[in-house]
Amino acid sequence: MKLFNTLSRQVEDFKPIAQGKASVYTCGPTVYDYPHIGNWFTFIRYDILVRVLKLNGFDVNWVLNITDVGHLISDADEGEDKLEKGARREGKSAQDIAAFYTKYFFDGLNRLNFQTPTVLPRATEHIKDQISLIETLEQKGFTYIIDDGVYYDVSKFPDYDKFAGLDMDQQLETERINPNPMKRNPQDFALWKFSPKGKQRDMEWDSPWGRGFPGWHIECSAIILALLGETIDIHSGGIDHIPVHHTNEIAQSQAATGKPLANYWMHTNHILIDDQKIAKSTGNGLTLEDVEKAGISLEAFRLLVLQSHYRTQSRFSWDELEAAQNRLRSLRAMADLRWQIVDFDRQDYQAEKKSGAYQEYPLEQADFERYTNEITKELNDDLATPKALAYLSEIEEQANLRFISKDSEPAFLQFLDFIDQALGLRLGDSKDINDTKKALISSREAARDVKDWKKADKLRDKLEAEGLRVRDTAKYGSIWYRI
């Protein structure tokens, strides 16, 4: 299995710390509002990473954190607390906001058919761990205190700029940084913020430095240390986390432990609508409910995500989502063949083939084995989901022109299970049609046998009204599929 490693800027063979095991940490949501589809693009790509690791036999310890404690909107540790902003918007407490949107996120994981993370830790469950880590950094001389909090001194960590390839002189001029004159360096970041004097926040805790709340970046470092250890295999997040959040994580963790935080860093690229990054601030923060209201299934949305590589800058459009829905419909037609297994006479087929006569023939076990291998190969090559889907479409096209025999049925069912394990498309959830619809198909076949085309056409129209179309074969009756 190969992954592009942000550390080296190269695709590398994945070599875990412990044989047969993989420790994975992925940056989760800040639960102050509904996640938009751009967030879900990123989370689905985490899910694919975990699925492919499991396909390769790894025992995956996956931690997906929940940021349920407010942190300031600005990377410069200024601005408004997101959870308090959400609380004011909805007339609730920050705790109520966090609880509501955490539950919504958990429901979303189920609706989108995610692998279950090993642990879904809430930041508020690890306040003591965060304080302990800050104390360690303080003891090692990496911190200082000013009027509004405890800060990390990046000048004490010589490799601070290495991970993101930052130009520190240029950073002085960027709009990201709004210099605080009390900070030693503009890039220094808050580890612990003091509560404003005379004001009680919804979320604040006692600490050795005074009552307040943790900075954003310390959360992930503390949770990783508490749940996964000093060095993990893979850390993942959005590409926008590279220059600030993940750079700060590395500075904190490595200063505290003297060891690498992660051996592999996987970053997903942005999603654009009309050439704009998807964000609530731009007014294009579509939700899962918006997708479903448009009559599109969440499996089709997942398929749309997989049609682009996680390292490319993807574009969302309703036309592309509709096309994904149509593509999913074809894949489901293939899955429905499990209910239409044909009693194929192989000896008769071989005899007709030898005589030069044409006869329809099924997909074979070797076909499913070949495509399983090809799809696995692409997924193992830096999670190349678009290429994997191209192979899936190839066998889907063949299946929907041919059929499945009793001999090939076990391999076909195994293939459907493989696709669901690898991509999470729920093809294995296919259900058989009811007896009434089966009787209509049988009646139409009988009408065709006696060349009663008028009756056959009427029955075809009735089947379409019931949501079915049929494909007629020369020797094996009619194959149905849903419309």
How far is residue 252's CA from residue 136's CA, in Å, rounded to a whole number? 10
Start-to-end CA distance of the chain, whole Å, equals 38
**pLDDT tens-digit readout, 218-277:** 999 999 999 999 999 999 999 999 999 999 999 999 999 999 999 999 999 988 887 677
pLDDT attached to residue 389: 98
Neighbours of 249 (CB within 10 A): 25
pLDDT attached to residue 90: 86
3-state SS string for 202-252: CCCECCCCCCEEECHHHHHHHHHHHHCCCCEEEEEEEHHHHHHHHHHHHHH
pLDDT attached to residue 180: 77
Question: How confident is the model over 434-440, as a mean pLDDT?
Answer: 94
DSSP three-state, residue 126: helix
pLDDT attached to residue 354: 67
Question: How confident is the model over 387-401, as a mean pLDDT?
Answer: 94
Structure-token pair, residue 240 = 């926008």
Q: Is the pLDDT reported for residue 331 higher than 80?
A: yes
295 or 73, which is more confident: 295
Q: What is the largest CA-CA distance in the chain?
A: 95
According to CATH, what is the number of the domain 2-128+215-268? 3.40.50.620
Domain range list for the chain = 2-128+215-268, 331-428, 435-482
Q: Is the pLDDT reported for residue 395 higher than 80?
A: yes
0.85 cut: is pTM over it? yes
pLDDT attached to residue 174: 42
Order of strands, sheet of 143-146, starting from the edge strand that comes earlier in the sequence = 143-146, 149-152, 189-194, 212-214
Q: How confident is the model at residue 179 (pLDDT cuts 50, 70, 90)?
A: low
**pLDDT tens-digit readout, 182-194:** 899 989 999 999 9
pLDDT attached to residue 353: 66
